Amino acid sequence: MLEIDWNFLVIFILVWILVLVLTRVFFKPIVDLREKRKKILNENKKVYEQALKEYEDHLNQVESSLKEARQESQSIRQKIVSEALAEKSRLTQDIQNEVQGQVEGVRKELESEVERLKTQLEQQVESLAQKLEEKLLQ
């Protein structure tokens, strides 16, 4: 028959005691440490994802603000250009009116000068005609 050796039983019990001691002293702290690290990594990953989401939201907000600023600056630029064109047109019209006024003034001066010269010439013609007549009659 089968005989149970007491040495075998003692070694079996010692191995189980060693396993229990190693589990509590060595393996359990390592497993706990790995779990803590895993938990910290998961928390860090969540914080990273949250920070990335906030960054993207902020970036989108900045881009939309830039887009609005560009549109506003474009509308201001167009307004300034249209005002400048209107001012140019007004100044051109003012200059044309002033030049027309000056031309009319000069034309009137020329007409009065021509009339004055005509009357002066008529007087000289009459005077010359009289002198010529006197010379011819003499």
Give the model confidence (pLDDT) of 7-43 as tens digits. 888 899 999 999 999 989 988 999 999 999 999 999 9
Q: Is the pLDDT assigned to residue 2 strictly greater than 60? A: no
Token digits of residue 86: 């209107």
Torsion of CA 110, 113, 119, 124, to 10 degrees: -120
For 116, half-sphere exposure in the C-beta direction (CA atoms, 13 angstrom radius) is 6
14-18, 70-74, 108-112: lowest mean pLDDT where?
108-112
Token digits of residue 61: 């907000």
* DSSP character at residue 118: H
Token digits of residue 28: 């359990």
What mean pLDDT comes out for the span 56-76?
96
